A and B are shown apart, each in its own frame.
Chain A
Amino acid sequence: MTLRSGLLAATAVAASLALPGCGGGGDKSAASGRTVEVTLTDAGCKPERLRLAAGPVTFAVENDGAEAVSEFEVLDGDRILGEVENVAPGLSGRFSLTLKPGRFTMYCPGGDTERGALVVTGAAAGQTAGAKAAAARYGRYVEAQTALLVSRTRTFVRALAAGDIAASKRAYAAARIPYEAIEPVAESFGGLDPAIDAREGDVPASRWTGFHPIEQALWVRGTAGSARLRTKLMHDVVELQRRVRTIDLEPAQIANGSVELLGEVSKSKITGEEERYSHLDLVDVEANVDGARAAFDAVSAMVASADPGLATRIEARFAGVDRALRPYRRGDSFVSYPTLTEQDTRALSRSIDALAEPLSRVGAIVAGR
């Protein structure tokens, strides 16, 4: 659990906070669309109901002295399409997104009325065959990984319940892999990722749940952790599986998700922070890279036709990461993180950077194709 921008970024093109009256320069990025003004009040968000035609739109959100409300989100079911946070009284913020036809929720947490309705009318922009194929292919991957996550988490939870520490440790490693492979998707469901994957200190101690408090119990204290933790983890991964069935991704979102996965590697895996008790960080690294690979594979045909040189380069860089990881494989797992020298982590980190740089150009290439 760390970066949460990836999938959101593709839809919410720009989100910024500004002081009222500082306009003039302004945000021109949404010039192509319309602007809808939203006011935060203690009663809720105004307007409460909204009917818009499909297409790009900017939400300009202003806090009119509301103490209880400082956030506004547009949700598709449980999934955040766009949001502004920390809009304190007197402040304003904005974000832009491209709306598809359908019924959406305007969420105003803390207001007397928390939920409003957004109806978007008009014809859906027809997806190209390539975009449909990409979405279908990646959708199958995500569903397969979440199914694996649920079954492996069940094995893990049973081993914990049986008090078998050695079996629990093995099952922990196995269950982490499918989660890490689809992490950006999980992150697009607001609170689910922190509930499943927060590390100590990411959230208040009283709300620390998911894999990592159990990891701490297993490796630091040699115990199986509380029954409440394992029940909650099982519940959350099942919930994740239910929700991923509803998602509908654009190629650019898929591509940006792959860059996001490599961002995860650079930020917390290659530093040994993610699995700080079990030291299974390289297992996570491989799972993140495999997830990025699956996301790239889903759109690679589109990239190959638009920019064959870029596609070739990315393939070569994926191979470079595989080569960089190879010396640390031990059977179907990896060496423990603390055995890596500074030179080892540097070489790994550089192979990831070398891949992520060209991969970061894919989103723009496949967008709208």
Chain B
Amino acid sequence: MSSRLTRGKLLAAGALGAGAALGGVGIERLATGDDGGDGRRIVPFHGEHQAGIATPAQDRLHFAAFDMVAEGRSELRDVLRDWTRAAERMCAGEAVGRDDTPLAPPVDTGEAAGLGAARLTVTFGLGPSLFDCFGLAADRPRALVELPAFAGDELDPGRSGGDLAVQACADDPQVAFHAVRNLARIGRGAVVMRWSQLGFGRTSSTSRTQATPRNLMGFKDGTNNIKAEDADALARNVWVGPRAAPAWLRGGTYMVTRRIRMLIEVWDRASLDDQERTIGRRKESGAPFGRSGEFDRVDLASTPADAHIRLAAPAENRGTRILRRGYSFTDGMDAELGQLDAGLFFVSFQNDPAAFVTLQRRLAGSDALDEYIKHTGSALFACPPGVRPGGYVGETLLG
């Protein structure tokens, strides 16, 4: 390193140091010279892990699952490479490309111009079905199989599964939309969109710097979530370890998505007492039963046996923890019933899908909350590790 450090280099060195101390966790760093108070805030795309996992949760989500229609391995590689290049630029707050002729359609669709990066992250995942083709069968992680059926599932195949996943999170909804739209356009002909979900508000805090948000039931959600600052918990529960198999997924993780419809009308008719006993927390303060503060330790003895937080608690599940990163959604009105179609688009990251399966098996069929929710979509993806500049997401798998 040069003996003369500029201020910029000092900042960069400091940031690197912090990153190293946290085990390379993709903590958001502000771009040099940025006051951080507006939409220009940038989350680095490159790193040991993909961004958008341990990144403090942004306010908005646009998620899309795609199926491959092209049949060649080289086409799959091209899609992931082109997507990586475009994501790098968009996450830096730049347009996908520059136009050099008025006779061609613009390279970038344009609606994010002037909005800045808005902390955009684009996280890519590979679904189990992808490994049926492209000569990838031997590389399929043993854990990457369709999730088992759970009691009470009412899954719509049109909102489930997929060969590839794109999770775009940003503090500005138009920035997130722009990312998915442009990636869909770039992939057109090689991939088709299978399903898509907009999330209008985060339901988890994934950093100690963030207040705990409320979900659409009006309760604080994600109080005991794994936080980005907790490198040990991330290494233990989220990142696929350095000696795990397959090698290509080391530093990556597994992403579960569940579209959980809330029966809003029914919930709103439940008494406050019922609501609190269902969740296992006080509605206003977020405090567990028998405690006074939101972050006080859950007292299992005073919590109803079928309360949601009790059944989901690590102590009830052999210490199982997952990183939740879900968003509230609404798709307008359910035309069949004339009710609000809204709920939680649950997203979780864990280094083994079995962690989610353990928790969901415990919840499904026993959770008091079951009376007020329906799982209508489900998917599992393997998220490859992060990339260095010049690389692409999936390179460790496809070479």
Does B102 make an interface contact (CB < 8 A)? yes
Complex interface: chain A residues within 8 A of B297 (CB): none
Tell which of B103, B104, B188 touches A353, judged by Cβ atoms closer than 8 Å: B188
Closest approach, in angstroms, between the C-beta of B105 and any C-beta of chain A? 5
Chain A residues whose C-beta falls within 8 Å of the C-beta of B102 in the assembled complex: 13-14, 29
Asked if B192 is at the interface of the complex by the 8 Å CB criterion, the answer is: yes
Bound CA–CA A357/B183 (angstroms):
13
Contact with B along A325-359 (1 / 0, CB 8 A): 00000000000000000000000001001110110
- The main secondary structure of chain B at its interface with chain A is loop
Contact of A317 among B101, B189, B192 (CB under 8 A): B189
A357 and B185 contact, CB distance less than 8 A = yes
- Indicate whether A303 reaches chain B with its CB closer than 8 angstroms: no
The answer to whether B101 and A367 have CB atoms under 8 Å apart is: yes
Give the number of residues in B that approach A within 8 Å (Cβ atoms). 10
Interchain nearest-CB distance for B181 vs A (Å): 13
Is A354 touching B189 in the complex (CB atoms < 8 A)?
yes
Complex CA gap A369/B189 in Å reads: 27
Number of interface residues of A (CB under 8 A): 20
On whether the beta carbons of A363 and B188 are closer than 8 Å, the reply is: no
Residues of B within 8 A of A354 (CB): 69, 188-189
Contact with A along B147-173 (1 / 0, CB 8 A): 000000000000000000000000000
A10 interface neighbour in B69, B103, B189, Cβ under 8 Å: B103
Q: Which residues of B contact A363 (CB under 8 A)?
A: 103-104
Query: 1/0 contact trace for A296-335 toward B, CB 8 Å?
Result: 0000000000000000010001001000000000000000
Q: Are A361 and B104 in contact (CB under 8 A)?
A: yes
Q: A10 — which chain B residues lie within 8 A by C-beta?
A: 103
* Nearest-neighbor residue (CB-CB) of A358 within chain B: B189
- Contact between B189 and A364, CB atoms less than 8 A apart: no
Do residues A364 and B188 form an inter-chain contact, with CB atoms below 8 A? no
Contact residues, B96-118 vs A (CB, 8 A): 101-105
Partner of B101, one of A313, A357, A360, A364: A364
**How many whole Å from A78's CB to the nearest CB in chain B?**
25
| B192: A residues at CB distance < 8 A | 350
CB-nearest residue of chain B to A9: B103
A252 on interface, CB distance cutoff 8 Å: yes
Instruction: Please give, as numbers and ranges, the residues of chain A lying within 8 Å of B103 by CB-CB distance.
Output: 10, 252, 363-364, 367
Within the complex, what minimum Cβ distance (angstroms) separates A173 from chain B?
Answer: 31
Which residues of B are found within 8 Å of A364, using beta-carbon distances?
A: 101, 103-104
Which of chain A's residues has its CB closest to B189's CB? A354
Task: Name the residue on B nearest A353 (C-beta).
Answer: B188
In the bound complex, what is the Cα–Cα distance between A317 and B69 (angstroms)? 12
- The docked-state distance in angstroms from the alpha carbon of A273 to that of B102 is 32
Which of A10, A29, A361: most chain B CB closer than 10 A?
Answer: A361
Q: How far is the CB of B335 from chain A (nearest CB, A)?
A: 15
Tell me how far the C-beta of B185 lies from the nearest C-beta in chain A, rounded to whole angstroms.
7
Report how far A357 CA is from B192 CA in the complex, Å: 13
Would you call A360 and B104 a contact (CB within 8 A)? Answer: yes
- In the complex, per-residue mask of B166-199: 1 if CB is within 8 Å of any chain A CB, else 0: 0000000000000000000100110010000000
Provide a sorted-by-A list of 13 A–B residue pairs whose CB atoms are within 8 angstroms.
A14-B102, A350-B69, A350-B192, A354-B69, A355-B189, A357-B185, A357-B189, A358-B189, A360-B104, A363-B103, A364-B103, A367-B101, A367-B103
Q: Which residues of B contact A (CB under 8 A)?
A: 69, 101-105, 185, 188-189, 192
13 other A-B residue contacts (CB within 8 Å) besides A252-B103, A354-B69:
A10-B103, A13-B102, A320-B189, A350-B69, A354-B188, A354-B189, A355-B189, A357-B185, A357-B189, A361-B104, A364-B101, A364-B103, A367-B103
